[in-house]
Amino acid sequence: MISREGTSGTTLGVLMIGFNPVVKEGLQSILTKDERIEVIGAVPNELDAIERIKQAYKRGQQVSVVLTETRSNKVDSVQVTKVIKDQFPEVAVLVLTENLNDSYIIDAIQSGAAGYIFLKDMSPELLIRSIYQAVEGGTQISSVVLRSAVENLIQNGRKTLSDRTTEAAHLTEREVDVLRLMGNGDSNKMIAETLGITLDTTKKHVRNVIDKLQARSRTHASIIAAQAGIVGNPVAAILGAQSEPG
């Protein structure tokens, strides 16, 4: 059994959207090995996912994380993320991708995805750790995927460096400290312990940072910070403090 120490005893419900039968079976095999994770089911698209989440809540089950793929004939991770986050903002969305250069990565992050996992590098331990990290408020995106995403963001010029820096000027000194730790992928609890502040205060700072940067998620805020050079080199900012998973 894979287990996670130091977290509450709440069961974490995981719903899968999309995936071919082989990948779906492999994911389910990994997830069922963790005693804290309950596989709520697998559905073909975001509309069925919304209905399944509603049904789960009626049965007293909580869907904590949605796993989906970048895109296929039936699934679009950007649309999945938008629909899920709009109706259930408390549910974390993790996207599994086979293509590092997929332009959907940035768009899904902007829509609120908690992180990306490159299937080629994924291990059972990484998948389980990513789920717990997403639930705890952290981000999960491997350095390889992150590098591609940040470079793509800069090249596409979704928003200029000067614009991002101007927005960052409205952050307080404490909020910049929080943003740097968010860029590391630290959870709210870890940020609170590092800065010596309460968990409630940390949550307030995180929300202020996300709002001021006009970000849709922690991951998106971290990438904005990297693009603007708020936490260092535009590409290497987050990478420097985030080791390669696995």
With contact defined as beta carbons under 8 Å apart, do 12 and 128 qualify? no
Label residue 137 left, alpha or beta by phi (over 0 means left) and psi (-120 to 50 means alpha): left
* CATH annotation of 159-240: 1.10.10.10
Could you read off the pLDDT of 92-127 as tens digits, one per residue? 999 888 776 556 676 777 778 887 787 777 889 989
Assign 42 to helix, strand or coil. Answer: strand
Query: Per residue in 145-156, is it b (16+ CB within 10 Å) or e — as a string?
Result: bbbbbbebbbee
Could you read off the pLDDT of 158-198 as tens digits, one per residue? 555 556 666 666 888 899 889 888 877 678 888 999 999 99
Residue 242 has pLDDT above 60, yes or no: no
- Per-residue tokens: 32: 């069922």
Cα 8 to chain centroid distance, Å, stands at: 20
CATH 2.120.10.30 is the classification of domain 12-141 = no
- Over residues 193-211, mean pLDDT: 93
Quick one: pLDDT at residue 147? Answer: 58
- Per-residue tokens: 208: 């202020």
Quick one: pLDDT at residue 91? Answer: 93
User: DSSP secondary-structure letter at 73?
Assistant: S
160 against 61, higher pLDDT? 61
Q: Which residues partner with 141 through β-bridges?
A: 116
With contact defined as beta carbons under 8 Å apart, do 108 and 117 qualify? no
| In the chain, domain spans | 12-141, 159-240
Model confidence at 204, pLDDT cuts 50, 70, 90, reads very high
| 127 contacts: CB under 8 Å, gap ≥ 6 | 27, 30, 31, 117
| 24 contacts: CB under 8 Å, gap ≥ 6 | 16, 42
Assign 148 to helix, strand or coil. Answer: helix
Please state, in angstroms and rounded to a whole number, the distance separating the CA atoms of residues 142 and 59.
35
Percent of the chain with pLDDT over 90: 29
| 94 contacts: CB under 8 Å, gap ≥ 6 | 65, 66, 67, 68, 113, 114, 115, 116, 117, 130, 131, 134, 140
